[in-house]
Amino acid sequence: MKARQVKALRRKQAARTQQQQVEAAGEFVSTWTELLGSLPADYNCYMTCGEAEAAASLLQAFGEHATAEMVIEEHGQDDDHDDDHHQCTEACR
């Protein structure tokens, strides 16, 4: 196999891998959209700021803006007072 053919084959494999990654990310978003917003209430599971921001960013990239907003809001209700997302509630006053 010539070097040019090897390079072309590698490009095709890389493109196929990227498409698989995009499809897998889309499937993840579709599956987790409902669950991510209900983690704190249903499972007593809280995210760090970085986790909440990463989840919200992925959701937004796939058009799930309302769920992304809800993830940050839910996170902010239990965020520490000096953290960026903190939303003061009756419990913290």
Domain residue spans in the chain?
A: 3-88
Rounded to a whole number of angstroms, the CA Rg of the chain reads 19
- Do residues 85 and 49 make contact, with C-beta atoms less than 8 angstroms apart? yes
Diameter of the chain measured on Cα atoms: 71
d(CA 58, CA 29): 7
Note if the pTM is more than 0.85.
Answer: no
Task: Output the tens digit of pLDDT for each of the chain's 93 residues.
Answer: 788 887 777 888 877 888 898 999 999 998 888 787 777 677 767 788 888 899 999 999 999 999 899 888 887 777 565 655 656 556 555
Say how far apart CA 28 and CA 31 lie, in whole Å. Answer: 5
pLDDT at 16: 80
